[in-house]
Structure 1
Amino acid sequence: MPYMKKIILVITSFYLLQSGLAQSGAVSAKLHTLSPYFLFTASGTPSATLSTSRPKGDFTTDNTRQESFTIKMLVNFQPFSGEQTLLEVPGMITIKLRQADPENRDRQNYPAAKMQDGSLPVLEAGIILNAPGINLFTRQLEIGHPLASLKNPWGKHEVIVHFTKTHWTIYVDNELMDNDFVVGYPHWWHQRSWQINPAVVSEASLYLPGMNVERDNKRNIEQMPGLQYWTPRGHNSWVGDVATIYHDGRYHVFYLYDRRHHASKFGVGGHYFEHFSTTDFITWTEHEAATPIEEQWETIGTGSPFVYNNKLCISYGLHTSRIYPDSLTEYPDMLRYFNQHKKSGSFSSNPEEAYPSGATYSVSQDNVSNFKKSGALFHYSENPSVFTTPEGKLKMYANYKAKGTWESASLDSGWYCTDPDFPLGGDCTFDFRWGKYEYVVGGFTSLWRRTIGKNEPWKDIVAEGKDFYNGVGVPSVSPIGNGRYIMAGWMPITGWGGPFLIHELIQYPDGRIGTKWMKELIPATTDAVLLAKNVEQKNAFPVKDENFILTFDVVPQKKKNGKVALSFLPADGSNKKGCEMQINIAAFTAQYSDAVKDGFGEMQKSIRNGGNPSLVGNYAIENIMGVEKPFTVRILVKSNTKLGGTIIDTEIAGQNTLVTYRNGLNVDNILFNQERMDIHNLKIMKIVD
C-alpha cells in the first residue's frame, strides 16, 4: 500500500505540472451573442444640466407623467468606503455607490464580480414609481451592478440611466449593465430640484423625453461563450423555462429570460422569451427577443414553439393576474365565453377595456427569427403548450388557470376540450413522438408514455421509476434529425432560473429513455492526464483547476453487487460543503448526497419516492442501465464566481446522467471509496473554455 501511494503521488504531481497541455482536437460549441452595447441620440438639447461649478439646480416639465427620460453623467470612480450619492432627484431618483456585502448574493448576485482585494463596490440607481390603485407597486425599483464587472473599474466612465414605459436601465460606457421592468411612473411635479456630488460627478444632463436608444451591432464582446451551462451576460441574468423545436434544419431554443431569480418587476418575474438557434450544434446564433416586454401589464409565462401554415410560431401565456386582479383582465370574459359556447373564443388585445391575459402567440416573419406578436388571445390558459400533430392537427395542453387536452381547426377559431383529465398534472407540458411511442413531459416531475395507434391509457413512467429526470428543469425534448433526440432545460442555482444545459436521449425497444452527454456540447479540454492506473480504497487526489472532466472505468467484482463513491471536497479536504456521487450496482441507483467523513453517503430518494431532482441538490435516480458489466463514468466539474458554487454533471455507462449544483463548493480534492468494485484508468482533463 505505501508503494501504491507513492505511485499516486508521482502521477498526481505530473498532472499538476502538466495541466496546461495543448488543447485536444474537440471544438467547443460557441454562442454568437447580440451586442450588449447601445447608441444614444438626442432629438434636441438637454432639458437641464449640472456641472462641478453648478452642482444643484431646478428644472420644469409640462408633463407630470413622463413616459421616458434619460440622465447622462460623467463619473470618476475612485476607491471609497461606505456609501456615496452621485445624483439625486429628491423623492424620485437616487444614483449611488456603496460597498455591498461580499457574501450576500440575495436577488442581485453582486458577488459575481468582486475586486481583487475581495471588496464589492456597486453602482445602483433607484426610482420611486407610483401606480394608483396598486399599492404593491408604489415603491422603489432598484437596479445596479458590481464595479468589478467593468474592464477598468476605477477612473472616468459615462453612466446613463434610461427610463421608458416598460424598462428602467443602467448603462456604463454604452454597455447595458442591468435593467428591470416598471409598473407605474415617477411623479415629476411641474418643478423639480436635482443635484450631483461634484467630488465624483463632473457633469450631468437630463433629457425629457428620453434619448433614442438602439443596439450598436458594430460593436460586440470579444469572447464568445460556450453553450453548455451557459447563462446570459450579466451578474444577475439566468435562463428560465426552455422551449425548443427543430424546423427546416435549424434547432431553436426559446427561454424565459430571468433576472434576480424571479424577483424582477417587484417579484412577478418580468419574464419574456429570448431566442437563439443553430444548424450544426457547434455555432449558435442569438436573435432578438421573440416576445419582448412592450407594455407594463406584460409578464410572460411558458408556452411552446410550433409550426402552423408553414410558419414558425411560439405560443405563450400572459401572466397578467400577477400584476392586476382577474376582474381587471380579459380572464372573466374569456371564461364566460367558454362556459356558454363550450369552446374558447378569440379576443383581441384592448388594454383600455381590460388588460390582456391568457394564451397568445407570435409569428416569425422569416421562419427563423423576427417574431411579431399576433395580439390575439385564443384561450384563458396562461401556460399554453401548442403543437401540431404529424397529421397536421393543432393540439394544446393547457396549464395554469386551465387543464386538459384541447384541439382546434385553427389558432383563432376556438379550442374544444377533448380530454379534461389529461395531462394529470405538471406545469409547462411538452409532447414528442419517437418511433412507435408518444411521450408527454409534465414540467418538473411528470412523464407519460403510450403506444401510437393503440387505444390504451397513458402510462405513468415516473410511477415505474423509469423516468429521465436528472436535474434538467422543465425539460423540452426535440428530434434533431438522423434519429437523434435531445433534452434542453435549466437548473436552479439559488432560486428560480440558472444555467442552460442539454443532454441527449437514448431510446430502447420497450420505449424506455436514457440520457447521455451530447457530443457536440462537451467542452474542449487539454489532453487527458492519467492520475492512476488502478484506484485503491480511500485514494485521494488533489485537483488544480476549477473546471475539469474526470473519466474512469468501473469493473464490478460480482454481478449486481458493489458500489463506488466519489467525493468532491474543498481545499481542507473536509466533508463540509462537500458532495458525494455514488453508484450502487446492487440497487441500480445513482445519487448525489452530502459528503461524509467515513463510509458512504446517506441513501437519497428518487423522484417517485419523494425526491426532487429539479432542485439539483441531493437526490437519486433509479433503474440505471448499463452497469451489469464493466462501464465508464465521466464527470464534468464547472465553477465560476457568478455561480457561487460548482456544477457536477455525471454520465454513467453512456446511458444515465445526473447533475447537481453545490452552493459555496470549490473542488480542490477528490476522494474515492468503493466496495466490491475495481476502478481503473482514472484520467483528468482541464476544460479550456
Structure 2
Amino acid sequence: MIANPADGRMYMELMNGQAGQSVDLGALRALTICTRVNDGEENRELLSIQGDREAAAVRIYSGASPRLEALSLTVELYTDAKDSPLTLSVPWQAIGRGPHDVLLRFSGHIVELFVDGVLVDEEWPMGSVQLENAVAQTYEGIEDTRIWNAALTDEELNGFIRDREGLMARESAYLGGEPGSIQYWRPRGFNTGVGDCMPYFDGEVFHIYYLFDRRGHASKWGLGAHQWAHISSKDLKSWMQHPMAVSITEAWEGSICTGSVIAKDGYYYAFYAVRAVDGSPARLTYAVSPDGIQFTKSEKYIDISNRYTLSSVRDPHVFLDAEGLYHMLITTSLVDGDRHEGCLTHLVSKNLVDWQEEPPFIVPGYHDEPECSDYFEWNGWYYLIFSNDGLARYRYSREPLGGWMRPAMDTIDCVQMRVPKTASFAGGRRLAAGFLSEPGRYGGELVIRELLQNPDGSLGLAFPAEVVDRSGPIVAQAAEALSVENLTGFAEQLWGKVEGEYALSFEAVPEQPTMFYGFSVASGADFKQGYDIRFEPSNRKLGIHETHCVGFREDEASSIYHVEGLEGRVFVEAIVKKGFIDLCVNGKRTIIARINGEHAYLRFFSQFGRACFYNIRISQLSE
C-alpha cells in the first residue's frame, strides 16, 4: 500500500496476475476498487481480496450470479454482519465485450458497481469488511488495478471515466432506453422495479413517490433496502425523474417503507416506517422538504401503545379533516390475549408532530393486516382503501369517519395490480397508481388508473387518456363485422399473426347471455400455448386464462367480477405487451395480468352461442 500524506488514505496498485503484499487494514467501512477488465465473457476469476485466515472479503469474477442466469460480471462483498456475501452484477450481454473500466465503491451503508462510469448495480450492506492482513490477487484479463481504503468522492470517480461525452450513450446502451409512455414504466436497469406507489397532487404537479426496488425485495439479505424514488408531471404526459426523495443513509436501516405525503405551511411531510436490520419493531418517522424533492429526515419517532403488534407497524397514511385535525392510519394488528386482528391504528394531531392514539379506525376481519391504506373525500363521499394479500379493496361512506359500506364490487382492478393508492388531479379527477406484480417476487411495472365515481358513490376504473398509447399506426382493421357461432360448443375465427406489441380495440355483441366470448393470443396458430380473454355475461365475469387448462384451475389472480353490461354491446380496449395484457371494458372496469409466452397469433371465439365483433382495429405501440 502507498500512503497519501495529504489525506491519510492509502491505495494499492496491482499489475495483471500480481499478488499484493499482506497489509493490515483492520475492519473497513469504506473501500474503493478500480480495475480494467479486458474481456470477461467466460467463466473465470478476475480479482480477489482475502483477509486474515484466508477469509474472503471481495471477489470479482465472470460467471452466473446467484440471481442472474446469464453470464455476468459479478462482485461479491463479504462483511462481518452475515456469512453470505452481497452480490452485485451486470450481464455481459448488457455491456458488451471488454475492455471495461470497473469501479466498486463501498461507503458503509451502500456499495455501488460502476462500469465505464455507469452505475449498473448497488447494494446496501451492514457491518465491516474484514481486511486484517489482507492480500489482493488479480488474474488474467485484469490490469491497472487500484485499491483504496476509503470511498472516493463523486468528483474523484469522474476522473476515472475515460469518455465523459459518451456517458449518456453508454447509460442507454447498458441500462436500456426510456419508453415513450410512463404507463408500464420501470426504472432503467436489469434488476429494477417499481414497488408500492404513493401519489400526491400539490395543486399543480402530480407526484408519484414509489419504493425503488432491486432484486425483487432480495437486497440487503432479503430486507428489501427500499428507498423513496420520485417522478412527477404537470400534464401526465411529460414526466421528470428526481433524485431519491428519502434514501437509506445508515447501515441500521433495512428498508424505507411505504407511507404518504402531506403539505403544511409551505413544507412537504413524508411519513413512513423504517424497517431495522436487527429485527426490532419498525420505527414510524417522517422527513421534511421545502419543495417535495429533497427531504431531510427528522430523526423523530412516533410511538403507539403495546395494545398493537409493534413488530408489524408500517404504512402510515396521513390526511387532514375539514376541522383542521390531522389523522394517521397505520397498518398493524390489535392484540387481545392470544388473538391478533389486522387493523388500521388511528392517531390524531394538530401539528403533525405530537400524536394522540384513538380507537382503531377499522378492523376489517381478513386473515392478514390491511396494508397501504388510503383515505380521501370526493364529491361528498368518503373513501377508505386498504390491501390484503396485495389486493386493494375499498369502503365508502357519507360520514367522514364511517360507518363504512362495502360495495358489491369492492376491489381496485385485480390482485396483480398491487397495493394502489390514489391522489386527486386537476379538474376534479382522481388517479390511482400501483405496480404490476411478478410471479414469486416483489416489484414490477408502474400502472396508472383513472378512478370513476358512479352516482351511488361506488367506483369504477378506466385508462387515463394521457397515458394510453394511441399514437401508433393502424396495422390492421376489419371493414365488416366478424360473426362467430356455435350453440353447442366452441367456435373460433383466426385473425392471423400480429407482429410486435399492439393495441387492440373492438365492440362485441353476444346473442345469448349464458355464452362465453372473447379473444385469444398465442405463440402459434394452433393456440395450444396461449391465453383466452373470456367474457362471461351471466357470471358478470372477465378472466384471462390459459387456452388449455382445467376449468376449476382458472387463475383467480387474473379475473374480475361484477362487470356490468357484458350481455349487451361491449367496447373493449386491450394493450397486448410482451409478458402481460391490460384491458379496459366499457370505459368502466380494468384488469391487468401477466402472460407467459409469445402473443404473435390472434383469434376471436364464442362458446355456446353467437357473438359478433365490430370495428376491430389493431395499432402498433410506439417504443
**Following superposition of structure 1 onto structure 2, how do residues 544-563 of structure 1 map, counting pairs within 5 Å?**
544-557=498-511, 560-563=513-516
Number of the residue aligned with 1:608: none
> Structure 1 residues 86 and 439, CA, compared in 2 at 3 Å: closer, same or farther?
same
> Which of residues 496, 500, 506 is equivalent to 2:446?
500
Q: Is the 8 A contact 2:347 2:355 kept in 1?
A: no
Number of the residue aligned with 1:438: 382
Number of the residue aligned with 1:209: 150
Number of the residue aligned with 1:245: 200
Deviations 1:180-239 (A, max 9, x none): 1102111111x3211111x30122000111211269898545643331111111111111
Partner Cα distance (1:530, 1:303) in 2: 45
Identity score, percent? 23
Number of the residue aligned with 1:134: none
Give the SS at the match of 1:266.
Answer: helix
> Which of residues 59, 70, 75 is equivalent to 1:125?
75
Number of the residue aligned with 1:623: 562
* Count of aligned residue pairs for this structure pair: 564
> Structure 1 residues 147 and 553, CA, compared in 2 at 3 Å: closer, same or farther?
same
Q: Is the 8 A contact 1:426 1:445 kept in 2?
A: no
> Structure 1 residues 547 and 44, CA, compared in 2 at 3 Å: closer, same or farther?
farther
Q: Is the 8 A contact 2:183 2:448 kept in 1?
A: yes
> Structure 1 residues 659 and 157, CA, compared in 2 at 3 Å: closer, same or farther?
same
Number of the residue aligned with 2:310: none
> Structure 1 residues 187 and 572, CA, compared in 2 at 3 Å: closer, same or farther?
farther
Partner Cα distance (1:313, 1:472) in 2: 27
1 or 2 for the larger relative contact order (CA 8 Å, sep ≥6)?
1
**Following superposition of structure 1 onto structure 2, how do residues 546-585 of structure 1 map, counting pairs within 5 Å?**
546-557=500-511, 560-571=513-524, 573-576=526-529, 578-585=530-537
Q: Is the 8 A contact 2:257 2:275 kept in 1?
A: yes
Partner Cα distance (1:301, 1:528) in 2: 43
Residue 472 of structure 2 corresponds to residue 518 of structure 1: no
> Which of residues 38, 51, 58 is equivalent to 1:76?
38
> Which of residues 429, 432, 448 is equivalent to 2:373?
429
> Structure 1 residues 204 and 505, CA, compared in 2 at 3 Å: closer, same or farther?
same
**Following superposition of structure 1 onto structure 2, how do residues 178-577 of structure 1 map, counting pairs within 5 Å?**
178-189=121-132, 191-197=133-139, 199-213=140-154, 220=168, 221=171, 223-225=177-179, 226-298=181-253, 299-320=255-276, 323-326=277-280, 357-366=282-291, 368-380=292-304, 381-400=313-332, 403-419=344-360, 421-422=362-363, 425-443=369-387, 444-445=390-391, 447-453=393-399, 457-461=403-407, 464-470=408-414, 471-494=416-439, 495-532=441-478, 533-537=480-484, 538-557=492-511, 560-571=513-524, 573-576=526-529
How far 1:382 sits from its partner (Å)? 2.8
What amino acid maps onto 2:58 in structure 1? I
Extract unaligned runs of 5+ from structure 2. Answer: 1-5, 51-55, 159-163, 305-312, 335-343, 485-491
How far 1:144 sits from its partner (Å)? 0.6
Residue 556 of structure 2 corresponds to residue 594 of structure 1: no
Q: Is the 8 A contact 2:582 2:590 kept in 1?
A: yes
Q: Is the 8 A contact 2:451 2:460 kept in 1?
A: yes
RMSD of aligned alpha carbons: 2.5
Partner Cα distance (2:205, 2:429) in 1: 14
> Structure 1 residues 581 and 311, CA, compared in 2 at 3 Å: closer, same or farther?
same
What amino acid maps onto 2:510 in structure 1? P
Q: Is the 8 A contact 1:47 1:59 kept in 2?
A: no
Q: Is the 8 A contact 2:476 2:619 kept in 1?
A: no
Partner Cα distance (1:412, 1:275) in 2: 24
How far 1:472 sits from its partner (Å)? 1.7
Runs of 4+ in 1 over 4 A off after TM superposition: 42-46, 214-219, 420-425, 600-605
Partner Cα distance (2:502, 2:442) in 1: 26
Give the SS at the match of 2:20.
Answer: strand
Partner Cα distance (2:122, 2:348) in 1: 39
Extract unaligned runs of 5+ from structure 1. Answer: 1-41, 101-106, 112-119, 132-136, 332-356, 606-610, 614-618, 640-645
Partner Cα distance (2:300, 2:194) in 1: 27
Partner Cα distance (2:498, 2:399) in 1: 55
More displaced 10-residue stretch of structure 1: 309-318 or 235-244: 309-318
> Which of residues 658, 668, 676 is equivalent to 2:591?
658
Give the SS at the match of 1:265.
Answer: helix
Deviations 1:385-432 (A, max 9, x none): 222234432111111367422211222213221435446551111112
Q: Is the 8 A contact 2:483 2:611 kept in 1?
A: no
TM-score with structure 2 setting the length? 0.85
Q: Is the 8 A contact 2:413 2:592 kept in 1?
A: no
How far 1:57 sits from its partner (Å)? 1.1
Partner Cα distance (1:208, 1:603) in 2: 57
More displaced 10-residue stretch of structure 1: 228-237 or 389-398: 389-398
What amino acid maps onto 1:635 in structure 2? A
> Structure 1 residues 291 and 529, CA, compared in 2 at 3 Å: closer, same or farther?
same
Q: Is the 8 A contact 2:381 2:399 kept in 1?
A: no
